[in-house]
Amino acid sequence: MADLARILETALGGTAIAAAGALAYAVRVPACSWLAPSVHRGPGSRRSIALTFDDGPSESTPALLEILARHRTPATFFQIGANVRRLPQVAREVASAGHEIGNHTDTHPLLALKSSGFIHNELADAQETIEHATGRRPRHFRAPYGVRWFGLGQAQQRLSLNGVMWSTIALDWKRQTPGVVSRLIGGAAPGAILCLHDGRVLNHHPDIGITLQAVRELLPKLMDLGFHFERVTDILCPTKN
């Protein structure tokens, strides 16, 4: 993804380096809503945090559900349509455990440089698949790799999806457990939205051992700090008790 600015420079004609830099900012920076409306944190009126997990469902998701159940912790899962079709029963387990399900596209493409029609179909196909498998129609959307593009805002609007980025991303696909835990503790604040992963894009049987161990360590630490956990819909509401 470090090559995104270079890709955009090429797309914009090579001479528009400053424009490419500004566009790269709009495409990647979680707090920027220029290309598509999105939130990256709740209002912070309560001492609550939203845990979010991307790229599932996977064969490894049930182990995460066990840990969350042990701590009675609700979370939000941004699922990929293709993974839901592969593992509909796991998607249903997530929903029936009381977690929220969000849309993370149908096949997890990089949305940069894609047509508006392609982007809309990616979101719409995932909506249909998730609703068919779980009976829940997602209200929130998270872009793969956090990359937004032209046309995404309109697709979100047509499908009544709210864009959700994050206040802290765990880097749990490339860091060891202590680094993931300390990064997330550092990002703990009222209204924080933390991003982890219960899958690895479309991989079967992904190894998410680091994520699982990080969540085991993180939950009691955050509770000791006086935090409780809310689903994304709840954390975005300023008045919920």
Please list, in sequence order, all residues whose beta carbon lies within 8 angstroms of the beta carbon of residue 179, skipping any fewer than 6 positions away.
Answer: 171
Q: Which stretch binds Zn ion (CB under 5 A): 38-46, 55-63, 173-181, 227-235?
A: 55-63
Rounded CA gap, 65 and 16, in Å? Answer: 47
The answer to whether residue 197 is catalytic is yes
Closest distance to Zn ion from the beta carbon of 214 (Å):
17
Q: Say which residues have a Cβ less than 8 Å from residue 70's Cβ, sequence separation at least 6.
A: none
Nearest to 99, CA basis, from 198, 227, 28: 198
Supply the minimum distance, in Å, between the C-beta of residue 55 and Zn ion: 4
Under DSSP, the state recorded for 78 is: E
222 CB-contact burial (10 Å; exposed 0-12 / middle 13-18 / buried 19+): buried
User: Which stretch, 57-65, 69-77, 136-144, 178-186, contacts Zn ion (CB under 5 A)?
Assistant: 136-144
By rule CB under 5 A, what string of x and - marks binding of each residue 2-41 to Zn ion? Answer: ----------------------------------------
Residue nearer to Zn ion on the CB measure, 146 or 191: 146
Q: Which part of the chain contacts Zn ion (CB under 5 A), choosing from 5-13, 20-28, 137-145, 226-234?
A: 137-145
Of 9, 54, 172, 198, which one interacts with Zn ion (CB under 5 A)? 54
Which of 40, 54, 140, 172 is catalytic? The answer is 54
SS3 141: strand
71 is catalytic: no
Q: Which is nearer to Zn ion, 1 or 17 (CB)?
A: 1
CA-to-CA dists, residue 70 to 65, 94, 164, 170, angstroms: 9, 14, 27, 22
- Classified as helix, coil or strand, 194 is strand
Q: Which is closer to Zn ion, CB of 144 or CB of 191?
A: 144
- Give the residue nearest to Zn ion (CB): 54
Nearer to Zn ion, 55 or 172 (CB): 55
Query: Which of 40, 99, 108, 197 is the catalytic position?
Result: 197
Per DSSP bridges, beta strands 228-229 and 100-103 are: unpaired
Residues linked to residue 131 through DSSP beta bridges, in sequence order = none
Site size toward Zn ion (CB under 5 A) is: 3
198 binds Zn ion (CB under 5 A): no
Provide the sign of the torsion angle of the four alpha carbons 176, 179, 180, 181, taken in this order: positive
Among 9, 55, 100, 172, binds Zn ion (CB under 5 A): 55
List 140's β-bridge partners, or say none: 162
* Residue ranges that bind Zn ion, judged by CB under 5 A: 54-55, 144
**Which residues are marked as active site?**
54, 197
